[in-house]
Amino acid sequence: MVLSRTKQEHLVNLYTIAKRYPAKKTAVISKLEDYGLTVDDFNEYDSLMVAQNVVEDPDSLTNKYPEVPGFTQSDKYSDDQILKIFESRDSLMNIIEDIGEPDTEAEWFKSGKDATARIEELRPFYETKKAEEWEGMTEGVQPLADIYGGALGALTQIGGIMDFRHDFKEDFHERGFLSSWNPLTLFGAFDLAEYRENPLTGKMGFTPELLAMENELEELYGERRRFDERLGQYSEALPGSDTMQEISELNEIITQEKLLDPRNFGEQ
């Protein structure tokens, strides 16, 4: 028997009522169809409970006061509050069921997970190599940066704007200021890898190996962004979301107070 979470909750409530109030079993059976359940679902659950030797709690308030009509169950919550607790819980669970769950076997899901794992593996190595190459670079034309601070500053600003096209990589690799702010040009002198000579290659900028890693990370971050965007439609159905947290809190109240859904009690 595979039932949705909402149907399972209703089945448990109906079964519990039938056990605590044998005279109401007929009314309970008649309500099964209202919740998309069948008599076979009820009987199968009954067999499961019998097989597991589930014993009714003798200290339940509803057992202590069987003569009390309706669904007065708790000295902590009023009847109206109990009804609202169940209605709120079920409303939220309906939202979750409408959202559904991501297909973990889908290609987009697997690709996103693989990309995340690869990023965690490659990013530290990339950052270490990048720092090492920075330290090994000679200044090249960089001493002219103070003179051409405005031009370099403008260049890096343009580069920064262009970087928004990417998920990870940079058009110009900037490390920060070399000198104080120039009030005449309104720019500082920026330290750019593209204006430094790399002794590993004898050329300006980072090595092809480092740039290849950057390109790979660019693709990986793009894959993860697409994964996050697609997963976002399931966000409220995922563990830790506000909706799931609220459902958990309501279920905790129901469990701790041993509340029964009053909508399942039927006519007196």
How do residues 176-201 score in pLDDT, each as one tens digit? 654 444 444 444 456 788 888 999 99
pLDDT at 151 exceeding the cut of 80: no
Least Cα distance to 106 among 231, 240, 237 occurs for 231
pLDDT at 120 exceeding the cut of 90: yes
pLDDT at 58 exceeding the cut of 80: no
The verdict on pTM exceeding 0.95 is no
Distance, in Å, from the CA atom of 266 to the CA atom of 212, rounded to the nearest integer, reads: 69
Residue 245 is encoded by which pair of tokens? 């947290």
CA angle, 243 as apex, 238 and 244 as ends, to 5°? 50
pLDDT tens profile 67-96: 444 445 777 888 888 889 999 999 998 889
Averaged pLDDT, 32-52: 82
Identity at 104, one-letter amino acid code: T
pLDDT at 229 exceeding the cut of 90: yes
pLDDT at 105 exceeding the cut of 90: yes
- Helical pair 5-20 and 79-99, crossing angle rounded to 10 deg: 150
Which ranges of the chain would DSSP assign to H, the alpha helix? Answer: 5-20, 25-31, 39-51, 61-64, 79-99, 107-136, 149-163, 208-231, 242-257
Q: How confident is the model at residue 147 (pLDDT cuts 50, 70, 90)?
A: very low
In the chain, how long is the greatest CA-to-CA distance? 95
Residue 222 is encoded by which pair of tokens? 């793009």
Distance, in Å, from the CA atom of 133 to the CA atom of 3, rounded to the nearest integer, reads: 59
Q: How many Cα atoms are found within 13 Å in the side-chain-facing hemisphere of 15?
A: 23
Q: How confident is the model at residue 53 (pLDDT cuts 50, 70, 90)?
A: low
